[in-house]
Structure formats: C-alpha cells, structure tokens
Amino acid sequence: MTNSDGATIPTTRTDLVEWVAQIAALARPDTIHWVTGSAEERQMLIDVMLEAGTIEQLNPELRPDSYVARSNESDVARVESRTFICSENERDAGPTNNWADPNEMRSTLRGLFTESMRGRTMYVIPFLMGPAGSPVTRAGVEITDSPYVVMSMGTMTRMGRHALDVIESGADWVKAVHSVGAPLAEGAKDVAWPCNSVKYITHFPETREIWSFGSAYGGNALLGKKAFALRIASVMARDEGWLAEHMMLIKVTSPEGHVKHIAAAFPSACGKTNFAMLQPTIPGWTVETIGDDIVWMWVDDDGRLRGINPETGFFGVAPGTSDQSNPVAMQTMVGNTVFTNVAVTDDNDVWWEGMTKEKPAHLIDWHGKDWTPESENPAAHPNSRFTVSIAQCPTASPDWNNPDGVTIDAIIFGGRRRTTMPLVVESRNWQHGVYLGATMASERTAAGEGTVGELTRDPFAMAPFTGYHVGDHWAHWLSIGERLAAGGHAPHIFHVNWFRRGDDGRFLWPGFGDNIRVVDWIVKRLGGEVGANPSPIGNLPLRDDLNVDGLSFHGDDLTELLTVDPAVISGDALSAQSVLEVAGKRAPRALWDENAETLRLCATRLS
Ligand code: O2Y
Ligand code: MN
C-alpha cells in the first residue's frame, strides 16, 4: 500500500495496515494519507481547507497563522443523545449511558460507512494520549475524512510519526474511525463544512473501538478527547487500576515556595478553564497550568497518586473569555489558533460575546452574515471554540509534557450552587470525598440545555463521559482510595462553590483570581497549618484562616460563605439519594453510609 504522496506506508504493523485497508475497502476514499505531523503537512491541510472554504485566514498582523471555521448550523456541539456505549452486556453501560447492542450497531455502522468517503481523502492519524514513556500513556489511530479534524488532532494530541514509532515498537492502539458522512459525487462541488444529519458517536469498550459518523464538531469528531481519553480510557483505567477523569490540573506554589498539585472536576459552565489559568490576586502565589479538561492518574510505586494531562491543547469555549475573566487564555490564543463559530470583526480578527464591554458596531457572525448590536441573535455561537496548543500558554508548567506526571496533593469537586454549599469544605476522608464527588451538583445556566437554575447531579462531572456503569465508577474510586490509604499518602478531597448568592441575587464571592484564597486555605490544610470547623458535610475554614486581605464583604456575606445550615444540608442529602438510587444495586454501600452519616450529623445539630 502507498501513501497519497506515493511513499511506502511507514509501518510494519500488519494489524494496522490490514485495518486501514479494511476501512478503505468499506468507505472507498479516493486517496489515503498517512499523517506524519510535519509542518509541510499542516500547510497542505490549511491550503486544502482554504480552497474548500472550511477555514478563512484571520488578519496575520493581528493574529498570525490563525483561522476561523464556520460549521454547518446543525453541527455545533457534542450530541449526547447520539452517543452510545455498545458494551456486550447492557448492564455494563449502566443507567446513565445510551446503550446499543454491539452487533446491531456494527451492522448500522457498516451501512453508514459504506462508500461514505467517496471523493475524499482518508487520513490515517497515529496519535498518543500522554507523553511517550508515561505508565498511562496510550496510543490510538484515528481514521477520518475531515482535514479540519486532522489539523485539530495535531493541536490536541501528539500526532504523527512519533506516535507511529511508539505503535511500531509494539504498543497496543485504540481504533477510532470517523467520517463526516458526506461522500462527494464525481465532479461535485464540496460544501465548506460537510456533515450528515444522521449522527452516531459509538464506543465499543471491550474491543477498545470508537466509530463516529456525521459530525465534524469537537468532541464528536476529535476522537482522542472525550471518546478515547474519557469513555474508552475510563474502561481501560477500571480494568488496569488507574483513573481517567474529567479534570483540570494545576501546579501551585505558595509565597514560601511550597509546591502542590491540584486536580479539579467541575460540570460545564463552572469556569474549569479559568481555574486552570488562574491569575492569583494574593502576592507571592503562582499557578501553573498542566491541563484544563482531562487528567489520567495512577498510584505510583510509593503509593502516591500521580497524574498527567493526556492532551496537548485547549479546545476552549470562546464566549465569556476576556482579558478580565481569563487573561491567560487571551494571551495563549494570540496566534497559531483555529477558532470555530466565532464572529469576525471588520479588521478580520475574532470577537465573541463577553470579550469586550462594548460590542463592535459591525461583525460577520458565525453564520457568515452581517451583524450589528441591534441583531437579535449572538454574533458568536454560545459553544464557539478556540483550539490552541498548551505550549503557547504563558502559565504552562513544563510538567505538562513530563512522562512521570506530577504528584496529586488535593482533589477538588465543585458546582454552581446559589445556596446550600459553602465556599469550600474538606471531606472527612477519602470515602466521604468520593461521596461528595458522586453527589456533586450544579445549577443549569442559560448556555446549556434545560431549565435555567434547575439542579443537575453530575457525578464526578463524568455523566456523559464514563464508559461504564456509574456505580462501578464510584466503586473504582473507593478501591483506588484503599490502595492510597495503604501507602498513607491519599490526596485530601475538597468541594468548592464559587457561585453562592445573597438574597438579592448578588454573588457573595468575587471568584476568578481571588479563588487563590481558597487554594491558600487548601494548601494550609494539607500542611496541617490550620484547624477547621467540623460540619455535617465536612471541615469548614475557621473565619480567620481564610485570607481575605483587601476584600470587602457586605454584612454577613463572609460568614454565610463559611457556614452551612444543617436543615438545608439535610434536604440536599435527601435529594442526593436520587443519584445513588439511579446507580441501583451497583451504588457502593459505603456511599449510602456517607449519606446516612450526613443526615445523622444534621439531625444531631438540629436536635
Ligand atoms: O461541544 C463540543 O464538542 C465540545 S465539548 C468540550 C470541549 C472541551 C472541553 N470540554 C468539553 C465538555 O463538554 O466537557
Ligand atoms: Mn470537558
């Protein structure tokens, strides 16, 4: 077999060559291109996409080597309703995933992929999730007929020859097949964003396979991200004894020079990327970014939890990102960035809602139409994105590329709660921390689907991403805790809520860079430097231990942030039973025990 450039296929792995030949025989592309990851290849992809109208170049003087893509209007986000876990046994997918029979799904996919790449190039993308040499780094190969996907995978993963070398040396690899599902008839003109109204994002956990059809957008199509690094990797992690989680990872250094690493899971719209790029307001602190979305963690030979970011880029939400909310993200995307579904200014730069206080007088919106501040709809799609390498992030820690990863000292769960949850609370122990993760909840914002303000339980922020039964996921966390306890080095687990509001609706906590004050308390807790106030949901800061120098609070706001009402916590614990009930018999008994303990402690306070 030869490459599109006439060169011989660069691998001796017959399993890989045969699989590529099989997919080609099914999808019938015009040509096959094995992706090397070279600079020349990137330019070739850009030229192909400029010619097809998939991307347009932005003003090179304002934003060098940067492009804007406008997707089809029906292809703008992950589609959870079309995402399936095709485990052999339905019970293994659990109650929170869409399950489909693997044989039936294979037959459906065979029909959909038949000749689906006619008239197109089929790209073969070898990629690594994680730096080569890490104990949890894994390889994959994505086949796709979308140059946009190839270019994005080049930013988000370690793609190309280096990954193929790892596969060549004998590594197992995950099979990921993607087609936009828009074959091109001979001589037909292509559209800028080919896709199909029929969409399937399917996962076969036992065979470690992913098949995605019909969408070229984000998590549906960049299969290294949610499909591999969370859904398939969570299954691998369960089987092999590690964790694949929807978390950001930072390195924090205190004014005294103490270094800690913190992993944190938040549901969407809670500022996870902002936290990953936090600019501390307390002098002397530094925060370095290791990852903003996914962490793979394992127990090392010393019994400590270590973690890596398996990705190499950010696929961040643009709206709301500004020099005020996230200056680091703004500095990261100064060039070499692909924007998708943002608006374009008259000087050919990007704009989105929340970027500036003043709206520009005229824009080209994400539909490619003229837009003025009087227009009814937003100029940028609410799920518009920037895709950019971590290497460009001014706060990137060199450890983002370290195969040994970093020691995880603390784990944070969080949610957006107007009431109920305090600013920060430390779990009593690992088991209680797992309970806080399993029952974590967030209120819906206008950006998401559903009724604004409605409370949604999103265990570990993994509801759409755990590739197996949610109850088994909790049990797996408990078993990791047992291994960590044996070494005596389990990270402390915390829960934070930056979004508590007063009766008049105002936020009680300033958030953003001031969240370092919470980190400061967490680090002091880790070092045993401060005490705590025990409560039914865990250990609360003593008022004088939270550094609020320079902040001013209305009336009792600070007290309200640092206290809990046992009657309200009791009501929340009763409501949290619903999520334990969803997991049914597979909900670990230990989590029901923690729920009962919370209720008992509330009752004691109330009596
Ligand atoms: O809509 C999409 O395809 C993107 S979803 C996404 C992207 C980056 C990080 N996280 C997410 C998410 O849904 O959690
Ligand atoms: Mn995410």
Domain with CATH 2.170.8.10 in the chain: 314-388
Domain 314-388 belongs in CATH node 2.60.120.560: no
Q: What is the SS3 assignment for 549?
A: coil
Query: 568 CA distance to ligand 2 centroid (A)?
Result: 30
Tell me if residue 39 falls in helix, strand or coil.
Answer: helix
Task: Count Cα neighbours of 536 within 13 Å in the Cβ-side half-sphere.
Answer: 24
- Residue 448's pLDDT is 56
H helical segments located in 246-386: 272-276, 327-332
Using a 10 angstrom Cβ sphere, with 0-12 exposed, 13-18 middle and 19 or more buried, the burial of residue 348 is: middle
**Pairwise CA distance, residues 390 & 179, whole Å:** 27
For residue 477, give Cα distances in angstroms to 233, 295, 442, 480. 15, 14, 21, 5
Instruction: For residues 505-532, give the mean pLDDT.
Output: 97
Question: What span, in angstroms and rounded, lies between the C-alpha atoms of 146 and 214?
Answer: 11
- Using most ligand atoms within 8 A of CB, pick from 156, 309, 311, 315 the residue to mutate for ligand 1: 315
Q: Any idea what the Cα angle at residue 261 is, between residues 260 and 265, rounded to 5°? A: 140
pLDDT at 9: 77
Local confidence band at 3 (pLDDT 50, 70, 90 cut-offs) = low
Mutate to test the pocket of ligand 1, among 293, 309, 311, 386 (most ligand atoms within 8 A of CB): 293
**234-247: pLDDT as tens digits:** 999 999 999 999 99
Spell out the long-range contacts of 451-454 with Cβ–Cβ below 8 A and sequence spacing 24 or more: 453/418
Q: Are 291 and 276 in contact (CB under 8 A)?
A: yes
Q: Hey, what are 561's tokens? A: 């942030």
Q: Which of 380, 374, 309 is nearest to 343 (CA)?
A: 380
441-443 and 455-457 as β-strands: parallel, antiparallel, unpaired?
antiparallel
On the question of pLDDT at 449 being above 70, the answer is no
Chain centroid to CA 65: how far? 25
**Residues paired with residue 213 on neighbouring β-strands, in sequence order:** 179, 200
Say yes or no to pLDDT of 450 above 90.
no
> In degrees rounded to 5, what are phi and psi of residue 168?
-60, -35
- Give the three-class secondary structure for 524: helix
Element at 21 (helix H, strand E): helix 14-27
Q: Is the CB of 448 under 6 A from ligand 1?
A: no
Which amino acid appears at position 345 of this protein?
A: T
pLDDT in tens, 358-403: 999 999 999 999 999 999 999 999 999 999 999 999 999 999 999 9
CB atoms inside a 10 Å sphere around CB 449? 7
**CATH 3.40.449.10 residue ranges for the chain:** 14-54+79-241
Neighbours of ion ligand 2 (CB under 5 A): 293
What's the pLDDT band for 268 if we cut at 50, 70, 90? confident
For residues 99 and 93, is the Cβ–Cβ distance under 8 A? yes
Residue found under tokens 């140059």: 147
Distance CA 433, CA 484 (A): 14
| 88 DSSP assignment | S
- Topology classification of domain 244-312+398-606: Phosphoenolpyruvate Carboxykinase; domain 3 (3.90.228)
- CA-based torsion, 80, 85, 89, 92: positive or negative: negative
**At which residue do the structure tokens 């922020």 appear?**
461
Q: Which two tokens stand for residue 55?
A: 């991307």
- Report the percentage of the chain scoring pLDDT > 90: 95
**Whether pLDDT at 7 is above 80:** no
Q: Give the Cα separation of 197 and 177 in Å (integer).
A: 18
Domain(s) of CATH 3.90.228.20: residues in the chain: 244-312+398-606
| Predicted confidence (pLDDT) per residue in 139-177, tens digit | 999 999 999 999 999 999 999 999 999 999 999 999 999
**Would you give the DSSP letter of residue 472?**
H
Just give the CATH number of 14-54+79-241.
Answer: 3.40.449.10
Q: Quick one: tokens of 389?
A: 């390498």
* Residue 140 β-bridge partners: 127, 174
pLDDT tens digits, residue range 17-51? 999 999 999 999 999 999 999 999 999 999 999 99
The response to whether residue 268 sits with its C-beta less than 6 Å from ligand 1 reads: yes
Give distance in angstroms: CA of 472 to centre of ligand 1: 24
Q: Is the CB of 218 under 6 A from ligand 1?
A: yes
pTM: 0.97
pLDDT for the residue 452: 74
Tell me the Ramachandran region of residue 142: left when phi exceeds 0, alpha when psi lies from -120 to 50, beta otherwise: beta
Looking at every residue in the chain, the average pLDDT score rounds to 96
Task: Name the residues annotated as catalytic.
Answer: 270
Does residue 78 line the site of ligand 1, with CB under 6 A?
A: yes
User: Is residue 165 left, alpha or beta, with left meaning phi > 0 and alpha meaning psi from -120 to 50?
Assistant: alpha
Torsion angle, CA of 405/409/413/418, rounded to 10 degrees? -130
SS3 600: helix
The runs of H, that is alpha helices, within 28-182 are 39-52, 90-93, 102-113, 147-156, 161-168
Query: What separation in Å is there between the alpha carbon of 542 and the centre of ligand 1?
Result: 37
Does the pLDDT at position 279 exceed 60? yes
341 in contact with ligand 1, CB cutoff 6 A? no
pLDDT at 586: 98
